[in-house]
Structure 1
Amino acid sequence: MPARYLGSLLPSWKDYRSVKRTWRADLVAGITVGIVALPLALAFGVSSGAGAEAGLITAIVAGIVAAVFGGSNIQVSGPTGAMVVVLGPVVAAHGVAAVAVVSLMAGIVVTAAGVLKIGRVVSYIPWPVIEGFTLGIAVIIFLQQIPSAVGSKPGASSNAVVSAVQSFAHVNPATVVWPILSVLLVGVIMIIAPKVNRQLPGSIIAIIVVAIGAALLHLPLARIGLLPGSLPTPTLPSFDNAGALIGPAFTVAALAAIESLLSARVAASISDTGPYNADRELVGQGLASIASGLLGGMPATGAIARTAVNIRSGGQTRVAAIVHALVLLTIVSLATGVVSQIPLAALAGVLMITAARMISIATVRSVLGSTRSDAIIFAITAIITVSFDLITAVGIGIAVAAFFALRALAKSGGVHREEPPSPAQPEDRHIALFRLDGALFFGAADRMLERVTRISDVTVVIIRMSQLQVLDATGARVITEMIRGLERRGITVLIKGIRPEHLRLATRVGVLSALRDHKHLFTSLDDAVEHARDHVRRSAFETAA
């Protein structure tokens, strides 16, 4: 692989050439994002089953590594809701130790994907699939918080809907009111705070209020628990059950790649910090997950919510994301005792509001109001995301979108019978002129074959191919079979205007060899029609003789 390409995947001094001008804005943005990221890191860690410590480690380590090695100037990385949705069943089936193994394995896969230039694949995911995927994730995140919101434990099912329902069987009626009130208070504060001042960190304020209230009133609320005062020493986890984790690792890798690239693409579109390098972004996210796994963290992805906060706060370079991670590291070093007393119900409230904000009513209306096929794709993707898993949902969503796209492409193709050019001649009633339009591929070829082969009472068929935009091997094969079928019936076939980009395929599949004579291929319609008329006259003369 060329050294120049590999060099484009590595950090460069050019990444920081504007820092002298932007460092103040980057510093402010980084501190702001760090404050916003703290409750999310804690909440996502707890919600995944890996623990609050894993969420913090991921936000710190992945935040720095992805900022330095990633392909976006403004992206902020760390634990995300989508990753939590995937990791929950992994923790339930294989234990907390499996998270680090999955993080390492997925990181290697994502890094390799970047080196192999797979970064642009995400651009092929249709918009309705992305929105349906996002809606499904939001619903799952919300449902996953219900056990903590009612002071219960999750149900035994790995499905978020079923687990949420099962959790009500373990509710303590005597204490259930307190976690519910805590969630409601968090929600109210998070909704009101931005209306008072957009810069107010509603989630942090809400958590502080609930934590202080729970401590003063000695409320029976479950807490985060003891947290370490520093980052752990890098350790290679045990790979004893690595074989059973290959599937989850590839699922996590696919999700990390998709979410990170979508986030980077959105960030590039709403900021003026320059384009992003998709392949380098995958390398950076892969290395971030590897580093996180070695320190006991979770797989990392680009986080669009934190990235958006970074952009709104004035972040311009990678320094902002690095500062955000350092802010979290400072909190871990100085305030773990305070953080450990945060009620889990408060974190559940933060994630419930976060999940609700992931759903844009305007966007949902836009998708549902666009076309029927897009609405179906959106609904199917969302339902499968909630019912099964994220990667299955994306795969099926893309398959359904491909089906509708192929159907539309097939409908764009057509076979139209035309009259030969004026002036009309007596021989024209024995000539059939067909024009092929649009696309002729496996989804539309049989319809064209049926239309042309039904022709009768003619001596010559002229097929105009100059207006044919798309031709695949199936379409070319159908044309070949059509020519041979007509020739067997004694009907001479002439072809006019094979496009240069189709000539090689037509030759290889046998379209030209199926013609009775190599001179039956024309570039001019007038020449083809004149030849057809002459052929009709000769045939009539031979019949009369």
Structure 2
Amino acid sequence: MAHLFQPKFFSVLKQGYTKQQFTKDLFAGIIVGIVALPLAIAFAVASGVSPEKGLVTAVVAGLIISVLGGSRVQIGGPTGAFIVIVLGILQTYGFNGLLISTMMAGVILILFGLLRLGSLLKFIPHPLIVGFTSGIALVIFSTQIKDALGLTIAELPSAFIPKWGAYFSGLGSMNYWALGITVVTILITVFFKKVTSKIPGSFVAILVITALVQVLDVPVTTIETVFGEIPNKIELAFPSIEWSQLGAYLAPALTIALLGGIESLLSAVVADGMIGGNHRSNTELIAQGVANVVTPLFGGIPATGAIARTATNVKNGGRTPLAGIIHAITLLLIMLFVGKWAKLIPMSCLAGILIVVAYNMSEWRSFISILKGSGFDILVLLVTFFLTVLVDLTYAIQIGVVLSSLLFMKRMADSGKNATMEVDSDVLENYASLPEGVAIYEISGPFFFASAKQYCSILKSIGSRSRVLIIRMRHVPFIDATGIHNLKAVVSELKHGHTRVILSGVRPEVLKELEKHEVTGLLGEGMILPSFDLAMSKAREL
């Protein structure tokens, strides 16, 4: 148990903690707390719960995830990905059912960590992740149109297509003041970083627009007109549990756990790349589980690692979990002493912030890139995307994983029919005579979602110590979108460190995929060679 649960916070304290780092963590924590304020409110409102539920989640879950987590810089709290899930659970099971489902999801996440499933969740294919992330982004955008346009629609359908039908039918009730506020909010949120990157544009938009709406008495709906007063306190709120009904909450709980686990580990991996660290995946899952068991006891909603807030933490100098703890304390102080004024925020202002969030989540560049790739990846992407938008995220993840597995087996069967081999001279098979500064790594087997991370981790380690890295790919029958995504990241990082990469013995079908995704351009002209002896000659030239 001890080796499965090793929070980074306590490891950092044992290693020693300097005053200089505390100053950086303090500054980063306060900035992230300010960034998290409008997002926590907006995510709660978009999820169909009152604003303080988002603030409570950001404070309680954010604190627990930072203290117990397996990442040095992970920031936890409510995220955009859960808006769709929380809305669906609320409509089906009510708020009490949401709290029970979240607590059950927390238990499942703890079990994932104890069973060492942290590494398995990393094997979710890239097209599947992009598919449901882009789908969620479109659903979030669609939920904000009513407030963005100030439409007066009494009963808004939950399904995607009927919802848009209701929007078109209700265009006659558009409030142009609300539309103007939405547009101005988007412009401030997007472009304020040109003024300064220290203060988030979303925070500035809320302050400026809320003040103007109150001073000019602009006729738009606010948080107060929809939700009433916002409590400025945190108190226990135990859900009423009927043990005989727990089975009904298993499906939503599993959805929360899977999405929470995937998003948290993705965020931790991104953070590792930014700080050159290594997170402890099973510890992170256990911490996320504990956070989701405890937070509902205070009336909170599901929480997970937040990629945007984690990146903000890193960019502002945060390097230890103390920054995340300070972020939670900052939010708590704001909630206690300033929270009562949040009721004045216009709903159209929150809609503008969430539209920007949806755009940032959409990953449209990755979406288009995968559409240029193999038919297998395109199928997984589109099936996951359309199921997320038109049916349900639970089905999208389940069917996406099954489809990815079936297509992988098909690919493996097909690759056996087209096996070709690179022919090298016997002399050059002896790696003992390598020139100084040249390293070689041979990949054997498919370069796909289950192996890509491991291969690329080794490539990064070997390449960072060399001037030239030759990657032998004669035994690679195919490469999928996840493999290409990770390979491009490694090549870019090594190029930044002045290491040249040469590919050797690439099969025609693999080369075709590399060309489609512009990996050949990233490597440079003449860096993909048909045989190992030619690759060695090129390495000597370099």
Task: Please indicate the TM-score interval, normalised by the length of the shorter structure.
Answer: 0.7 to 0.9
Task: Pick which of 374-383 and 327-336 moved more.
Answer: 374-383
Decide whether aligned partners of structure 1 residues 246 and 408 sit closer, same or farther in structure 2, where only a CA change above 3 A counts: closer
Amino acid at match of 1:291: V
Q: State how far apart, in whole Å, the 2-side matches of 1:230 and 1:120 are.
A: 38
Matched, 1:214 2:213: yes
- CA shift digits 1:36-93 (9 cap, x unpaired): 1111100001111121111000000000001111111111010011111101011122
Matches within 5 A, 1:122-521: 122-151=121-150, 152-153=152-153, 155-167=155-167, 169=169, 173=173, 176-225=175-224, 226-232=229-235, 234-240=236-242, 242-272=246-276, 274-414=277-417
Return closer, same or farther for 1:164/1:302 CA change in 2, 3 Å cut-off. farther
Moved more, 299-308 or 211-220: 211-220
- Partner AA of 1:385 in structure 2: T
Counterpart residue number, 1:524: none
Note the alpha carbon deviations across 1:345-383, whole angstroms, 9 max, x for none: 111110001111223443233222232322232222211
Aligned-residue offset at 1:156: 4.4
Measured on the aligned residues, the alpha-carbon RMSD in Å equals 2.6
Taking a change above 3 Å as real, the CA distance of residues 167 and 17 of structure 1, as seen in their structure-2 partners, is: farther
CA distance in 2 between partners of 1:113 and 1:7 (Å): 12
User: Which structure would you say has the larger Rg?
Assistant: 1
The answer to whether the 8 Å contact 2:61/2:292 transfers is: yes
Please list every run of 5 or more consecutive structure 2 residues that lacks an aligned counterpart in the other structure: 420-444, 447-474, 478-542
Shift of 1:170: 5.1
Q: Which residue of 2 aligns with 1:114?
A: 113
Show CA shifts across 1:386-432 (max 9, x none): 1122232122222332233222211222499xxxxxxxxxxxxxxxx
- Cα offsets for 1:253-300 (capped at 9, x unmatched): 11111111111112112223x211111111100111112100000011
Counterpart of 1:5 in structure 2 is 3
**Letter paired with 1:407:** K
Distance 1:208 1:68, change over 3 A: same
Q: Mind listing any 5+ residue stretches in structure 1 that lack a counterpart? A: 417-437, 440-467, 471-545
CA distance in 2, matches of 1:353, 1:469: 40
Q: Is the alpha carbon distance of 1:154 and 1:367 closer, same or farther for their aligned partners in structure 2, counting shifts above 3 Å?
A: farther
Partner SS, residue 355 of structure 1:
helix
What is the Cα deviation at residue 178 of structure 1? Answer: 1.7
Partner of 1:461: none
| Per-residue deviation, 1:317 | 0.5
Give the Cα separation in 2 of the matches to 1:95 and 1:55: 17
Matched, 1:37 2:36: yes
Flag the 1:150–1:14 CA change in 2: closer, same or farther, 3 A: same
The 1:80–1:469 alpha-carbon spacing in structure 2 relative to 1, beyond 3 Å, is: closer
- The change in CA–CA distance for 1:9 and 1:114 in structure 2 (over 3 A counts) is farther
Match of 1:476 in 2: none
Superposition deviation, residue 167 in structure 1: 4.5
- 2:26 corresponds to: 27
- What percent identity do the matched residue pairs reach? 36
Contact 1:74–1:317 (Cα < 8 Å) also in 2: yes
Corresponding position of 2:528: none
After alignment, is 399-408 or 101-110 more displaced? 399-408
1-side partners of 2:148 and 2:385: how far apart?
24
Larger mean CA deviation between 394-403 and 288-297 belongs to 394-403
Distance 1:171 1:54, change over 3 A: farther
Partner of residue 77, structure 2? 78
Q: Which deviates more, 371-380 or 159-168?
A: 159-168
Contact 1:119 1:279 in 2 (8 A): yes
Cα distance in 2, alignment partners of residues 216 and 168 from structure 1: 32
Cα separation, partners in 2 of 1:398 and 1:245, compared to 1, 3 Å: closer
The 8 Å contact of residues 76 and 304 in structure 2, kept in 1 or not, is answered as yes
Q: Would the alpha carbon gap of residues 27 and 160 (structure 1) be closer, same or farther in structure 2, given more than 3 Å must change?
A: farther
Q: Name the residue aligned to 2:100.
A: 101
CA deviation after TM superposition for structure 1 residue 161, in Å: 4.1
Which amino acid is the alignment partner of residue 267 of structure 2? Answer: S
* Cα deviation 1:204-231 (Å, max 9, x = unaligned): 1111121112111212222223111221
Q: Where do residues 43-82 of structure 1 align in structure 2 (5 Å cutoff)?
A: 43-82=42-81
Partner of 1:450: none
- C-alpha change, 1:395 and 1:148, in structure 2 (3 Å) is same
Quick one: distance in 2 between partners of 1:154 and 1:359? 29
Does the aligned pair in 1 maintain the 2:122–2:262 contact within 8 Å?
no
